[in-house]
Structure 1
């Protein structure tokens, strides 16, 4: 048996039945099998380090050959892969143009740009992912919520008929459906609309400050948010509606995350905590509307999308109201109860079948795949190295897996066979009651979130102009973000809370170097 097949066979023994049939790599990937020699090399190079006296080989290049020089301005996340060819650089730039393009409502003389809404959250991808960085909650009554929105669900009743997709996922080992879109407002609150159509409402946030005392007497104030919908225009929400806030994540390194072999991600999964370490990483299983099969979820705050292309297509449909080959509804997230929205002006009434076609979607996908990860800063600084050791000693690497090696991809040289340092296992983890949105999504419970990649996190202030972290931006600093960790991460959080101030400062310095 070839080494690659043997690895998959052993994985299938350890995982539920969906591991072989459902959780797989993108079938469109042209993957070259790994040799036995490569498997051994990869195991050696990705093994956790125990030497913190100096940087590891290639640690300063977190994206391998795709790493770019760390700029000192706000465009640090907007560079193309460092190993991109001259010919493909043009595709990247055209994709950037589509990513930044402002869509307008139909009918319009600008046929290539109309089809907005009728209900939407933003007029362009760039409006949410400004400078390809991290969004933020509004900083006051006059600040926009454009880089943040609310997801909606209601609990599944258990009496509703399963869709074909739900039935398949259930038969493949996934849990049954636990949530449905809110019947009137759909899957998310859309706070903008074209002329003649009322927006669905406005997200309202209030904060309660809570003080946490660390072991050395340092006091840190954490803000606990509460969310509601002001001025709902289409009637009251369902009484059991579940609201989940989502801040737009940074865009760098997505193509490299997509290129990690599914088997390597699954190797870190331990849903029953068989090793007894308190960490129960769980793979997300989602239905791919692009490939019409179950796949490993990798993208989104609960790993709800399997590929960069499908995540992009879902954002076009749900956030901007732009139909595309994967999500073809011209009304985007409009529901059957929003009849005027569904019958409203759309950009598919001319010769176009979709408001953005597959060529345009592929260009945006290529752009998103190739937003480069900047090089590490101060990687050999003594305090940074000390902070790295604290990170390991605290057990943070149990979820924030430092290293992977990507597939060999002849058709994607930028992502092919790179040693990368994302500091994420891309699995779902229970983060406790404090961070719970109480809204299930696929296999994720209301307490579970995908481990966020940490590369580039130290450049958030430079790129995005703020230091708001976590899924809803509640944390105003990296220390606050750590202190919100609970559930599976409680021991790591308590370790940090009990550190002397110099070690805590070193940990933050290490994170800022990523």
Structure 2
């Protein structure tokens, strides 16, 4: 009997220890079994840990097309020619540096490089309002829906992006003041004449590439269940899905990618970036990114009917689906745990969802049935006037943004050498990003403003552990 009691006690201790270890291990693996243990500049560039060796060649081929530059046509490297004639960059990696986060230009920089500016005009006529349903925006008539600040040699770029900032002081209850910076965007050196007087501008930095295949694998039903556009539960949070046009299906789908969830799939996101950012056509986007005013697209040689072949699109899709999320760090640190408790206490997890299971996906076993912790609900939320770009995109209004996944946040500086955050890179660190929250997040921000210095440090420590 004594032996049985002793055994029972030890068995209980073992179970508690095992459960505790399991919870910690699961918390540290933000990407489930795809998560990798990697630090340093290449922390965002590894394939999913559970990707079989037989598929890693596909990952490497996709990486090569993502990383290497495209060139002007005609060229001996006909698999990579067709650049431009108008473009923002000649390769994906130039914006998503080391598969990480872009940054805004400094005030005296000649080019934005890893930031672009979206363009559109308000939908005023019935015809324009119908067009918005399919296209999401009404492009600016002369320059289209995105400004290209590069052009081929001897050609004229569309313009130069200039960013200026004004100080916005914010004070905590203990008297500590933080100076935020509010950007204003101006386009100079216009290459094709004046813009429409009502042009809407929205600056966007390149987001990190990690975990995108997992986000694509969250079931539609889960996102719809999280949606509460009418705030029926009266918690002040009214997230909604964006409904966007799926070019391949020729039907509407839930938007998942882009700062306003304007793209439904990684395939379409990648093809749109090839077209808008690099000036390359594909089966999904067969037309050059020139307007009728810009005749250079028709006058110059191109790289063929589809400059990005279906095979290249598939390899780049596979690559972008399987870039791994690095594991969390310092999950057992008392300060981190305190910050995590504060994060939940002030309601951040209402939008930055911590736990979700991915769907079973045919042909993508590494991404299937994973318990992941993206810290995002993938929904659109009103973030207030402070962050507003006042530029609608499909169902997203000018104050709404998709909840940014927070996984990998603490790796930003070592991967990219900076800590610029938010859609236009205005926040220079984590706390500045928090303090820009408004709208549905205003109540949470007000609670942060009441935090002591120790509580603020704990919250930052937790966010940097992700």
Shorter chain as denominator, the TM-score bin is over 0.9
Contact 1:108–1:114 (8 Å) recurs in 2:
yes
Q: Is the CA contact (8 Å cut-off) linking 1:54 and 1:385 kept in structure 2?
A: no
Task: Please give the per-residue CA displacement for 1:35-77, whole angstroms capped at 9, x wherever unaligned.
Answer: xxxxxxxxxxxxxxxxx99955611111111000132x20000
Partner of 2:6: none
Aligned residue number for residue 245 of structure 2: 287
Aligned match of 1:247: 205
Q: Distance in 2 between matches of 1:300 and 1:378?
A: 30
Which whole-Å CA distance do the structure 2 matches of 1:335 and 1:143 have between them?
Answer: 24
Q: Aligned-pair distance for 1:106? A: 1.3
Q: Who is 1:427 aligned against?
A: 379
1:100-499 to structure 2, matched below 5 A, reads 100-142=67-109, 144-160=111-127, 179-329=137-287, 331=288, 333-348=289-304, 353-499=305-451
**Partner-residue secondary structure (3-state), 1:160:** helix
Q: From the two aligned structures, give the one with the greater helix fraction.
A: 2
- Secondary structure of residue in 2 paired with 1:180: coil
1:118–1:345 Cα contact (<8 Å) kept: no
Looking at structure 1, the residues matched to 409 and 114 of structure 2 have their Cα atoms a distance apart, in angstroms, of: 17
Q: Deviations over 1:398-432 (max 9, x none)?
A: 11011110012241111010000000000000000
Relative to structure 1, the CA distance from residue 389 to residue 143 in structure 2 (aligned partners, 3 Å threshold; closer, same or farther) is farther
Q: Distance in 2 between matches of 1:80 and 1:161?
A: 43
SS in 1 for 2:230: coil
- Identify the range of structure 1 (463-472 vs 101-110) with the bigger mean alpha-carbon deviation: 101-110
| 1:90 equivalent in structure 2 | 57
Are 2:28 and 1:60 equivalent residues in the alignment?
yes
Q: Contact 1:254/1:371 (CA < 8 Å) preserved in 2?
A: yes
- How much has 1:211 moved relative to structure 2? 1.3
Q: Gaps (5+ residues) in structure 1?
A: 1-51, 170-176
In structure 1, what is the equivalent of residue 45 of structure 2?
78
SS of 1:495's equivalent in the other structure is helix
Q: SS at the partner of 1:222?
A: strand
SS in 1 for 2:27: coil
Cα 1:508–1:55 shift into 2, 3 Å: farther
Structure 2 contact 96–102 (Cα < 8 Å) conserved:
yes
TM-score normalised per structure 1: 0.85
* C-alpha RMSD of the superposition: 1.8
- Residue 345 (structure 1) shift: 2.2
Deviation at 1:341, TM superposition (A): 2.6
Quote the Cα distance in structure 2 between the aligned partners of 1:231 and 1:367: 37
SS in 1 for 2:303: coil
Unaligned runs of 5+ in 2: 1-19
- Contact 1:136 / 1:473 at 8 angstroms: preserved in 2? yes
1:370 Cα deviation from its structure 2 partner: 0.5
- Spell out, residue by residue over 1:299-329, the C-alpha distance to the aligned partner (whole angstroms, 9 max, x if none): 0000000011110000001100111111111
User: CA-to-partner distance for each residue in 1:96-136, whole Å, 9 max, x for gaps?
Assistant: 00001211111222211110001000000001101000000
Distance in 1 (alpha carbons) for counterparts of 2:193 and 2:204 = 23
TM-score, normalising length: structure 2: 0.93
Q: In 2, distance between residues paired with 1:55 and 1:410?
A: 29
Deviation at 1:344, TM superposition (A): 2.5
Deviations for 1:11-38, whole angstroms, at most 9, x for unmatched residues?
A: xxxxxxxxxxxxxxxxxxxxxxxxxxxx
Q: State whether residues 309 and 365 of structure 1, in contact with CA within 8 Å, keep that contact through their aligned partners in structure 2.
A: yes
TM superposition shift of 1:138: 1.4
The answer (yes or no) to whether the contact 1:55–1:380 under 8 Å persists in 2 is no
| Rounded Cα–Cα distance in structure 1 between residues aligned with 2:137 and 2:129 | 12
Q: Report how far residue 179 of structure 1 moved.
A: 3.9
